[in-house]
Structures are given as C-alpha cells and as structure tokens.
Structure 1
C-alpha cells in the first residue's frame, strides 16, 4: 500500500512522563520480550489473545502513546519480523490513526492463513474492515468462508468485494446468477450488466458473449445499453467482435417485428462493415416489412439501388429513406414556404399544402432535393398545427415534454442555445425563457430520460430508456474536455451527491482518468499535481480506492520545474488552497514561493502563514517592493490597500497615506488608458472599479481631506481634477468638502463669472451635439447589442464558468456607467456660443498670446472646456490648473504663479476670440 494520506513511520520519542503512560510502555516491552524468549507457537494463539491486545490498544490511544508504541514495535520487528504482538499492535494503531498502510496486518493475517487458523483469520479480517473496506481483507475472508464452508457469509462478502475491486468480474457474474436463481431479476440484470463491462475491460470475449446472450434473454428491449456496450467492444477488442454481438441481438427484434430497431441495428453493422452482404440483404427485407403499405415501395428500392452491391450502401439507404418519407399526410419543410403537408402523390408528382403556398405541385426528384421531411411531433409542425396559446401553455407547464420535442426535432442533439432559438421569441418571451431555462437545465441534469452526448460538451439527447445518475455523471464527464471541469464533476460525485456511492464502475472509470496522470509522467505539470491532490482527498474518505502506489507530494513538488507557474495554471480554487498547504509542508524554500505567488494570487492566508512562521522581515521587504513598484504589482498593490494595510502598517513601512492615494490615482489613470487602448480590458476594468470604489465609494479620499493639511490636499486634488478616469461629479463633490474646511482654498476657475452653478461647466455647440449623438448611439445601438450578447451568452450554460457571459456583463456595466456619466454631464453642460465670448479677459472661448518671461519665448493657448481640451494642440480647459491661473489675466497683465512646484511668469500680449 502507499502513504497517500499520511506518513505512518513513527519517530522515536522521549519516554512518557506520566506514571500510567510509563506503565503501559513497560507492559508493551515486557510482552514483546516474553514472546521473543518463550517463542510461543501459532497454535497457542486464540482470539482471546487479540481481544486482550485490543484492550491494551485502547489504553495506548487514551494516553496518546501511539507513536511511541509503534516506534517500539518497529524496532522489535527489525529483529523479530514475524512477531505476532508487534505486527498486531503496529497495524491496528496505524489504522486507528487513519494511516493507509496496512502492510503489517497483511503480513500477520497471511501467517495465520498459511497455518489454516481460519477463526483467527476471520477475526483479523473483520478487525481490518472495522476501519474501512479493504480488498485484501475481503478476499481473505472469501478464502476463509470457502474453507469453512459458509456459503451464507460468502455471498455478503461477494457484494462488498465487487464494490471495492473494480477488476473483479467472475464474482459479479456469480452474484448475477445467484440473484437470478432467487428470482430477483432486477438485481440480476444490474449484476450481469456490471459483469459485461468488466469482462470487456479484461478483453475476455467468450465471457462477454455469454453474458451478452444472457442479457438478451432478460432485457432485450434495452437497446441503448447494448449499443453502448457494443461500441465499447469495438473500441476495446475489435469491430468484428462488435458485429458478432449485434448479430446475436438481431433475431429478437426481427422475430418481434420491431422494424425500427432491427433497421437501426443493421445500420450499425453496416457502419462497421459496409460490404456485409447479409446485413444489406436483411435491411432491404426490413424496409419491405416496415413500408409494406406504401404504394411506391418497390419503385423507391429500385431507384435507390438498395439491392445493388455496386452502390455504396449508406448512400443507397439515404436515398431510399428520403424517397419513402414522401407519402400523403406527411409533413415537409421548405426554406421559403415553410411547413407543408403532402396532399397526394401521383406517379412522379407530389401535391403539397404549404403555409404560404397552397396546392403546390412539384416532381418527386425536386421534392427529394428541396424539401426536408418532418415528423408529426416536430416543433415546426407543432408551431404550425397547434394554436399558439395552447402550445405556449403546454411548453410552460410540461417542460420535460417540451425538451423532448425540441431535442428530437434537432436530430436528438441540442444545447440550450439551440433550444432557445426554437422557443424564443416565437413561443416564449425572453423574460419567460429566463425562468423556464433554469428549470430546464435542472431537468436535463437530473432527469434520467435525458443524457449528455459524449462527444459534444453541453449537448443533450433524449434517451430511449432511462439511465442511472451514475451513467449520466459519466456521460457528462466524457463530454467535458477541460481537465478542471472534469475534476469538478468527480468531486460532485464523490463528496456532494448523497444518492450515489463512489464504489461503482462509472466512478472507477472517472477515477482512473486522474490516476493515469500519476502512473506515467515525464514532467510534473498542473494536471499531475492536481490529480495527486484529488486522489489523496478521495482515498482519505474512501481508502479502498487506493490506486496501489505511493503518492509522495514532496517528490512531486521537488520534481516540478517551476512550482509558481504550475500553481498559476491551476484554475480550481480548492486545489490551489491545498497546493499552498503542500508547498509549505514539503519545500524548505516555501516562503520565497509564497511571495512569488502572491502578486498573481493575493490572499490573506499566504501572508498569515508567513507571519505566523516569523517571516516578518521578508513580508515587510516584499510590501516595500510592492509600494515602490506598484505599477508592476497592480493587483497585489490594490488588494493590499483594500484588504490588508492598516494605519499601523503604513507607519511601519513609512508610507504616508498621501502617497498611497497618489499611487492609486496614477494606477486608475493607467488602467483607464489601457482600457481605451483595448489592452487586457477585462482585468483593467475590474481593477479600475476596485480602485474607484476604495477611493470614493468607501470615502477614503473624503475622509483624508477632512483631516489632512491644506498643502497635501492641494497635491491630491490636483491629480484627481486632471484624471480622465474620475467622473466630474466626484471632483465637484470633493471640492465642496474642501471648501467647507478651507473656505479660501484656491480652486481652478475660482471667482470667475463664467463658473456656472454648482457642478456646471462650459462647452461649445459642436461638442454638445457630438456628446448627444454619442449618447444616442449608446442607447440605440450598443446597449441593445450588448443585451443580445448577454442573452446569447446566458444560453451557453453554467454562468460561473461562462467567459462570454462575464465579458458581456462587464461591457454592460461599462456601458451603463458611460451612459449615466454622459447624461449627468449633458445636464450640467452650458453651451457658449461665439457671440457670448468676452475678449476683455482670458476665459472660455479665447485664444491668448503670452510672453514667457522666464524663457523670453512667445506661447499661445486656446482656452476651452474639459470636453474640448487637447494639451498636445495647446488647447487647455479653463478648469485645468494652468487654465485656472491664466483666467485671472487681462491684456497687458503680468501673471506669476506656481503649479506642482513649477514657477510660471507671463505677460499677456493679446486676447482673441476662438472661431468655432
């Protein structure tokens, strides 16, 4: 066995201090020495001896002496390897502590088996089984009961063994025969099916065929089961063997005159062997029987060349089935005229009543190429034939029926997106669909009449016969190609579903998928590590699933080329958490790894583990690096500020809160610019939202302004005012906060006549019109398109893992924010026309010519509003720091001021109106 859950090698410890504990240790040593010197024979051992040892074990456990006693026994076994007492004490103590290693008890039991002491063998096996199902113990009990001739006990062990030993097939077959003999056919059939699959896995065709024929006699109607097994035989053994099995099943359907199933079976044979003359001859005969009423039967057989061996059999079948489907009363579909019903067929002419074209005639040849035949239960037929309200009521009230109709109408393969396209908006409104689809998804997942297609993710089919929940889970598992989605499915099976047990063949097949990653690997990647963690977790709860080889996390992690890279590639949250635990437990360099992971996966547990292990200086150094290089550590920096840093931390790091706020404002602007440039938009939107929420929704800036010095407020507010990522409304609200505290605080544009009422600003007619048009475009085009994207993405499946849905919702949030901001700005904007411009002083709508007295150079600026501002073209906002200072001047004035520690000195040479 292996050490997948815990290591069970005890370490030598100091002698226990309490008198009772010392007495127990003394007794153990005495018993081992006595056994060694007296050399008690096996024949002298009775069950009573082991029961006495059980009492001693309870005392050992009560005094927490398990490790000490195991160490003593381990040392004793090095010299006396077959010591009965040492083997028993060590083994039971290991099981008591949930260690997986039962090798000492296996050795002990084998000693008594070899000496035919069956009563003690039974006792030891049952003792092992008290701690969980165990293949060795169960198989040994079988030998015991066989030797003791106890058939009544034998059968109960059979049932337990096959639940833990997935390779055992003969006993499964024996159980099936027993249940059949007792008259319990339902259980007999289940066991025969299980035996069939296990014989297939073992590639034992004679056994397969024997069980196959037995199942034909017991449940011949379960065609889906037979076809599933037949496909497995074709894949595992050969297509020829699959044909042999199908040929065994065919006589039942032919004798019963179930022509549909007989034809389906023959088609499967012809898929494997298109030259099979027997199958071709039989399918022609089946068609003759099925369509014996059809007036054109022989003609359609002739023109399709169905009986001619030179014609490809699949093409011939396709031609025949197209022709034969055209009969009076049947429904057809034309892409322009819609659904129609065939009125009559005379010679080579078909007359059809279409919804949009009554009494239309066309040749048979034309009909075959232009029309699609529909069943009477096809959703298109029902939409045409049933009153809309009646159909709508039926679909809303009987969701399983509606799902069957739609899925079968779509060639029995449909996902939620295709189902929606058939129902919305022709029958259900989008709002009705949202409610209807939730229940529909639950039904598709839980109802045994629906199954998942193994080769198409999220596609469903209607099953001819219900399948078990285990089979549905397995089909879901097979259809899912993503490793971590598969991991979620097996976790749901093993830990969440109460109605199923992991001891099934379906679970074994899923479990083996993950075991295979550990059996042979060249490099340790995210799949190997995740499989190891998952398997350890499963066998901790179900020890009998132990794959039989050690899973040593230390070895795996040591062999991993880049642990951080592997960690980041894992998308399963619980696996990530457990991997962090294993990294700390097994790698001495775990602190460095933790700090390398944190910038990409910021979580409190990483920091707590580091500090609890006294790596305070390393954490502090890391924090300083994040604060210094916040642009490189964006996510980590924002997470720390929002979730971890306290005033005490800022003091420890000598980081003034002003610096934190300025860094966040800069980072917000960087994110905004990246979003505008469509650079990693999703991540930047998320980060920008977090920054703005912290700064303004949680009022950290406002609280800072209520206690900070005026000079510091001026520096922070200047950055906020210049930021494109921050709404003007927030800027004006903060201005009010500052004014209440510092009534004489110098704001941009303060004291100017052109300052509109609170929260207002000036703009040109052209800019106002452009913003109105942009708002109209967002409302009429972008938002409706986004709503459509959300609806389509929602139909794709599980919203938690739906990237399309998340992206569409993020875009919706951005659109709503943009629309809200635009509406607010349009309400506050005051349009200034050219006739209103005052050139007696610098202000909105003026072009100013200045002489820079510090450089003796001439400079020219156009003063407009925030919507028109473009510093690269010397167009500045009258609300900007520079615009605010210039707006104090008249022609001939000398202006001297400082902005952000830079001195300016100008003489106003001229003020001209701007033409716009």
Structure 2
C-alpha cells in the first residue's frame, strides 16, 4: 500500500517516538474492533517497514491476515495474504501461498472460469505466486458475463473466454463479437464496477431508459461519475446511445445540464463536463474560478453561474461589475461581452447598459468589433453602431465586412447595406475580396457559396466568372483557408459555383485547366474529382455522340435524391468509416472479412454519392402541366385504344427517378417509352399486349 492514509493520533505518536510495544498493543486492539480498520493498519505496517522494523511489520501483517481470514470479507483477507506472499517471494512457504489461493477462491467463488484460471496459473509452483495471482485476477475481472468497456469502441458483455488461445470476445451489439488478445486486455478492456451507468445500460436498459427520460439531471451526473474524467458532449452522447432517441437530444441536454452539480470548463471543442459532490461545492468552485480567470475566460464561467440560483448569480454580477471599468480601456470587446452577460444577472442591468453606451461612442468601432469573439454579441454591437451613428454606420459596416468571418453576419451586413441604398459599398468590399482572396478567406468562400443561390446580391453575382476557377484551388490548398477547407471543397459539389461555371461559361481551355488542377489535389475526394472532370467535359461534348436518355425529374424526385445524397454523405458513409476503423483495430487485415466487407461497402456508397452528385448537375426539373402535347414527350400522359376500340389504361412518360410501373409511369429511357416518344394522336404504337393507337395526349399534372 503506497498511498498515504490518515491514521489515529495514538498510532502516529507511537510510530514517531518508536514505541513499538505500544504500536503492537494498538494493533491488537484494532483487530478486536468491528469492522477492522484494514486501510489504517496497512498504512501502519508500511510505516513500520519504512522505519526498519521489518520483522515486526511481517508479524503484524500475519496477525491481520489471520483475523481477516476468520471474517466474512475474503477480499480484505486476500489483500493481506497477497502482501505477505510478496514480502516472502521468491519461494514463499507453500502453506502461505495455499492460504492466498483459498482467499482468492472464496472471493471469486461465483466466477464461471475460476477452475480453469487456477489450472492455467498454478501458484503453488510459481517463484512469485502474487504475479500469477495478478494474471488470474485479470482474467476473472473480465470473465464470462462481465460488462466491460472496450476502449474506443463501446460497452458490452464478455461472451467468450479462451484460456488456451488467450483471447476474450465481447459482444458490443454488432454482427459479431469483438476479439481482444489477453495481452491487450489491461489496456483495452476496462471492467465496469457495479452501479456504473454504462454497466447498467447493458444489465437493465429499460430501467435506465426510464431514468434518462424522467430525470435528465440525475442521469447526467451518473454518466459523468461513470466516465470518471472531464468529458465532452460526444462521450455523453455515446453513453446515451440506445437510451435516448437522437431527436430528443437537444431538449434532454437543455434540462440535464441545469443540474447544479454539473460543472463545465473550456470552450468550443475543448468544452468538458464534470460532476461535483454537491451543488454548494460546485457554486463555490465556479465563483473562485471566476475571480481568478483572465477577463476573456470569465465569460463562459459567468454564463454558467447565471443559472445556479439568484444568490450565486448576484455574487457573479458583483465580480463582473467590478472589472468593467478597467476592461473598457484595455479590452473593449471583452468589456462589451461582459456587459451583455452582466445585464442578465441580478442587479447588473444598469451597469451593463451604461458600459455599452460608453463603448459604442468610442472613436474606434472596428477595434471594439474585433475584440468581440461571440457572433451574437458582435451582431448587437453592429446594431448599436447603426442606432448611434446614422451617418457613419455604412462605412463602419462595409469595412467590417472585410473582417467578419461568420456566415450569418456576412449575410446580415450585405443585406442591410443593400436595403439602405449602399450597394456600392458592398461592391467595393467584394472587389477587395476577389482581388486578394487569400487576405479574406472567409469572405471569399462565403461569396462563392452565395453565388449559386437564387437571391445572391448583384455585387457578388457579377463576379461569377470563370476567373473564380483560378482561385478555388487556392482555397483548398493554402494555409489561410485551413479552418474552412471543408467548405471550400464543397464549392466543387453538384449545383455549386465551380460546376456551374464549368457547365455554363468556362471555355474549353479554362475547364481543362481547372479539372487538371483539381485532379492533382490529394485532399479532394475522388467523387468530387470525377464530378469536376465530367462537368469540364460536358460543356464541350458533341451532342451527336451522347445517346444517353435525357435526365428529367419532378421536383419531388429531385428533393428525394438530394435527401438520399445527404444521408449518404452525412450518415451512411461516416458510419461505414467508423466501422472500418473499428474492424481495423482487430489486427491482421488480410483475413479480416468484416474490414474488407466494409471497405467494399464504402466504395459503393462513395460511387453512389458521386453518381447522384453528377446527375443532380444534369437533371431537368419537369414542371406539372408544362409539357408540349403536340406529340408524346417526357412529362405527358398518353391515352390509348386497342385494335378493338377498347380504351386502355393511360401511360405516363417521365424520367427514370419518377418511374413507377405499378402506376404505369415509364422512364423515358425504357423500351416502351422509346417506341412512343414523338408519336402524335392517330399513330399506331407497339405495346406489351400488342398494337394500340394514340387517341389523346395530355400534360402530366403532378
């Protein structure tokens, strides 16, 4: 026992002066108490050994072991006997080792694999039996039926234990158990104690689901206690998987984190949650943290204190108010945000309002805006500039347009300037953005995203020229764009600016150059590279060589395809990649069927996503009632009569996405549709049941 444990003053005094007879006397008295203070006696034994009284320490430990063996807790007896065996190694007396084995057998009497483990680790024959004991305990801690955490993969039940092959299998709810070599068990298989939230999720899921639904705050504290370390939202969500429907997460989380025992620290991706012993201790800890935190660090702490009761919130308000005067001079942006939080705290409204009035009257509004990290607080500051400076606000807003990185605020600034007759200021700002896009990465990517929207401002629309194709590769590769690289690559998706420019206005040289540059970028996904290549070729393909059927579809069918694409990119492919990583962690990939199966599935999903993206760039939306009915066309309903003059069920010709044979809706590329396209009333046409005559053509009406 190496951890220092508090001992009674009588023991401490006797040890300090070396009164060993007194130590032995106190030890014997302790053995008569119920329960025996085992932890304290272990510490006394350690101190005696440290003082050089090794024989006495062994004797005292032997007395403790004998007393514990007579008791009802074999775990404590085993701890004492283990220490005696360790001190006597190598080659401890066989009688002592036998006693240790008996205590171990009593402690683990309910373990299914006890007999096999004892056979595998013959402690009586070992030079250091306590090492064999540790290995045996490692097995039985993960015995059949045990609930364990497979690090990085989840929680499940042990369903297989092979002592000969030294392998443990855990059922995580997948198609087959996860296999873990025994040598990796200590690192990768963590036994979960009784009462642990994640263990109860396996043992009593229905009862735990009721707790999660009816007592969110209690459930959250139990999750955090189970995790045992500061944890992010992703870890909490993982613990709730299968207990809480994803659609209910937001409302559940709003309720759960209001539990006064829950503490948070950090911000953004580093935000972590812990649980305190009581609500009062949590409040005291947060107020102490608020007093010592740097000005910008106080903001998140103060927000948390706002919901922890009126008295605590009022104490936080006093701390914030005392800091405002110095902040206004040194960090105006932080002062603005501090005032915003103070306004919501008891007694803080007047001081907050006065502070913001002083700040907005400053001669350096851009410095104020630059120091405000919170987007909603910046929006409030911009609104305050608008109200307080009727003549000067347009120039401030237009200049801030070159510094703002938030998409919503960029849209707000542009719309407000245009609505108030200052479109020329937007145009000047966009000229600066497109002249030197690397100096304004967020504005450039946002403008490129906006170009493909119907309500795009004219100052941006006018810059949708092939010259943009020269800049987009920079947005994907240059370090200035690193934080928004994912959005930059999104400019290559179907219907976005790059594809539209390739399809609508780029010449052959521009299209080929852009396609070649994208093909050389390893960071661009293969499906996006293929889409760019196809779009670059599409504009310059000889129409006489393209015999593919026209891709036409109803608006509903297009929306269904867009939803399918979204599901592939945001749900299915990420889920498959997660499975690939989990399968790869099992080891040898050559014979890992699950790994190769998932790789094949991922390739198919990626190919499917690329195909849909390509088709979405080519599809022509069919408007109900708009088809030319002078002849059979896509989007028409054809009425027919057979050779005997009997009216047949009408046939509708639509695109492949709308085809439904049960409703007699045929794709324009089908054999029947190909035979009918171009026919006029009175023409004879071959159908599946023989010949028929076209009697009337009507537009499809949806």
- TM-score above 0.5, yes or no: no
* Smaller-chain TM-score bracket: 0.3 to 0.5
TM-score between the two structures when normalised by the length of structure 2: 0.45
What TM-score comes out, normalization by structure 1 length?
0.36
Q: Which has the higher contact order (CA 8 A, sep 6+)?
A: 1
